[in-house]
Structure 1
Amino acid sequence: MREGVGMETFTAAREFIRREGRLVERRLFATLFEGADPAGVVDALRGYQNADGGFGHGLEPDKRCPDSLAIDVETAFDILLAAGARDDEMIGRACDWLQSAATPEGPVSLATPVMEPYPKAAHWSDWTYAPSLNPTAGLVGRLDAFGFEHPWRDQAAAWCASALAQGFPDEAHAMHESMEYLERHSDEADVAKVKEWLPKLSYYRADAADPEYGVTPLHFAPTPDSFWRQLFDDQQLEGHLDRLVADQQADGGWAITWEPPGVAATLEYRGIETLRALRVLKAYDRLPTS
């Protein structure tokens, strides 16, 4: 059953972001919902870009490391794409850093041991130091979405093609990253294989009633015109949209189901998730904003 959404849903979420969100989420909200210039989002991101071209300073809030990490580069790309903004110098410098951080074959790791001296969530451990499809495939996919050409993108894309030819990952986050790449590098047979593979993934939350942490169909298809929307039927998506509406908290924001390294990081991630929820609900015509 489609759950109705009133104007109070949007108003409460807006006030949560204004009250608790970081500057970058507030600027992105203003761009997406209030018609603000996307240049403000780019300006907010500049504070997270290091002299080496990479991004750090906890742009992804689960670790408070100031040094450049690939996960923070990916987060910056996501924010730019959401805003409909493109800054070639910013993106090019980030690609140069990715090239410097990659193995000779092209892949990068989510993080490196430089984060060890800093507060971080428990799940950010040494497994994140292995170069892999997560985040390499996702970074290539985002550069494809920009239409941004760079030698590292081409080298990493070739590595992704080779890695995926050996088999899909067995974990939903890595599969999500791989699907960012496959969106522009797949055929009908690949799509069928992905659909068959999804139920086998750890951390894939197909059931909207499941309260546990996981990657849901709305992560794979955040808008009705998403490439991967074809994997899910209307009933499944409607169930997850109903659940997303129901998960709004009394303070107006959305909760998270993991433990960031501190109170500030928790609020920062709640701001990110609240903005994500608003974007999804708006895309699926569940959110009146005026």
Structure 2
Amino acid sequence: MDIFTAGRDFVRRDARLLEGRLFATVFEGADPQGVVDALRGYQNPDGGFGHGLEPDKRCPASLPLDVEVAFDTLLAAGTRDDEMIRRAVDWLQSVATSDGAVSLCAPIVEDYPRAEHISEWTYQPDLNPTAGLVGRLHKLGVEHPWRDQAAAWCATQLANGFPEDAHGMHEVLEYLEHTDNVDLDRVRDWLPKLNWFRADAADPTYGVTPLHLAPAPDSFWRPLFTDAQLEAHLDRLITDQQPDGGWAITWEPPGPASTLAYRGIVTVAALRTLKAYNRL
């Protein structure tokens, strides 16, 4: 069975409704309204998103991490719902610090099953996710007072230097590509210094790879990497497909349902990347 068919069958069999609708939109020409409709089930009356949209915690309360996943899903589907997004950004503004920063999660996650890494560090306002949320709003073409306030906070923070971990740097790059402050050489020189950056395609451990930063040939940060680097990671991505057609994850979610949910997310993402690079 070929890569695409095996991945498709995994999504149809084991992924959530949301990833099933996203797959149908990206690969089968389905109306992206189906993705928006599936996302509505995760949006709370306060405008934020929760209910385990990001599956490493099963908390129903609104969290910025889940808002970010909602924005990513809309971007992947090539669609937007102005009212849905406006309500979400209004909620971000309501929980932000006085200067606009937000945290990934909040202590309420402790009342629900969660992965071990969803702990106190995720309660601190930081560039991860504030910078990433600002960047995604730019990509969605959404203006909002919170976006501008948070962008100013990000600029102030970055005056002190880049983050030291690859997740934070990924969020920063989402923000930087919509500014006039882009120095490719400086970013390229910083990547090897990051914790959790997996430059070597032969390394099977958890981490952020070049394909996370440049998931398509026209990605803004594609010039950071050589053709050889990206080809090696694409080869590895193909090799990592599991016998059941899906892709595995390299961390421990809080339970079997979360594991399958995350495998659905990474499988659709892997297929999208392989399609973008003409490797399907």
**CA distance in 2: counterparts of 1:209 and 1:186, whole angstroms:** 35
1:259 is aligned to 2:252: yes
1:135-146 aligned within 5 A? 135-146=129-140
**CA distance in 2: counterparts of 1:125 and 1:232, whole angstroms:** 33
Please give the secondary structure, in 1, of the residue aligned with 2:111: coil
Please give the secondary structure, in 2, of the residue aligned with 1:116: helix
Please give the secondary structure, in 1, of the residue aligned with 2:2: helix
1:62 is aligned to 2:56: yes
**CA distance in 1: counterparts of 2:15 and 2:222, whole angstroms:** 29
The counterpart of 2:215, out of the listed 211, 218, 222, is: 222
The counterpart of 2:235, out of the listed 235, 239, 242, is: 242
1:272 is aligned to 2:260: no
1:112 is aligned to 2:129: no
1:121 is aligned to 2:111: no
1:202 is aligned to 2:195: yes
Deviation at 1:184, TM superposition (A): 1.0
The aligned residue for residue 80 of structure 2 is: 86
1:105-184 aligned within 5 A? 105-184=99-178
Deviation at 1:114, TM superposition (A): 1.0
**CA distance in 1: counterparts of 2:102 and 2:65, whole angstroms:** 10
Residue identity over aligned pairs, in percent, reads 72
Question: Which amino acid in the other structure matches residue 265 of structure 1?
Answer: S
The aligned residue for residue 39 of structure 2 is: 45
Q: Deviations over 1:170-222 (max 9, x none)?
A: 0000000000000111445x222111100000000000000110000000000
**CA distance in 2: counterparts of 1:269 and 1:43, whole angstroms:** 20
Question: Which amino acid in the other structure matches residue 98 of structure 1?
Answer: L
Q: Deviations over 1:157-176 (max 9, x none)?
A: 00001111111000000000
**CA distance in 2: counterparts of 1:212 and 1:39, whole angstroms:** 36
Question: Which amino acid in the other structure matches residue 60 of structure 1?
Answer: E
The aligned residue for residue 71 of structure 1 is: 65
Question: Which amino acid in the other structure matches residue 182 of structure 1?
Answer: L
Question: Which amino acid in the other structure matches residue 178 of structure 1?
Answer: V
Unaligned 5+ segments in structure 1 are 1-6
Runs of 4+ in structure 1 over 2 Å off: none
Deviation at 1:281, TM superposition (A): 0.2
Question: Which amino acid in the other structure matches residue 283 of structure 1?
Answer: A
**CA distance in 2: counterparts of 1:112 and 1:135, whole angstroms:** 13
**CA distance in 2: counterparts of 1:235 and 1:192, whole angstroms:** 18
Unaligned 5+ segments in structure 2 are none
The aligned residue for residue 14 of structure 1 is: 8
**CA distance in 2: counterparts of 1:115 and 1:23, whole angstroms:** 23
Question: Which amino acid in the other structure matches residue 136 of structure 2?
Answer: R
Q: Deviations over 1:106-156 (max 9, x none)?
A: 000000011111000000000000000000000000001011010100000
**CA distance in 2: counterparts of 1:146 and 1:237, whole angstroms:** 26
**CA distance in 1: counterparts of 2:217 and 2:140, whole angstroms:** 20
Q: Deviations over 1:62-103 (max 9, x none)?
A: 000000000000000000000011100000000000001100
The counterpart of 1:284, out of the listed 252, 277, 280, is: 277
Q: How many residues align?
A: 280
**CA distance in 2: counterparts of 1:264 and 1:242, whole angstroms:** 29
Question: Which amino acid in the other structure matches residue 42 of structure 1?
Answer: V
| TM-score in terms of structure 1 length | 0.96
**CA distance in 2: counterparts of 1:152 and 1:187, whole angstroms:** 20
The aligned residue for residue 3 of structure 1 is: none
**CA distance in 1: counterparts of 2:138 and 2:185, whole angstroms:** 22
Please give the secondary structure, in 2, of the residue aligned with 1:227: coil
Q: Deviations over 1:209-236 (max 9, x none)?
A: 0011000000000000000000000000
Please give the secondary structure, in 2, of the residue aligned with 1:28: helix
Question: Which amino acid in the other structure matches residue 221 of structure 2?
Answer: W
Please give the secondary structure, in 1, of the residue aligned with 2:85: helix
Deviation at 1:8, TM superposition (A): 1.3
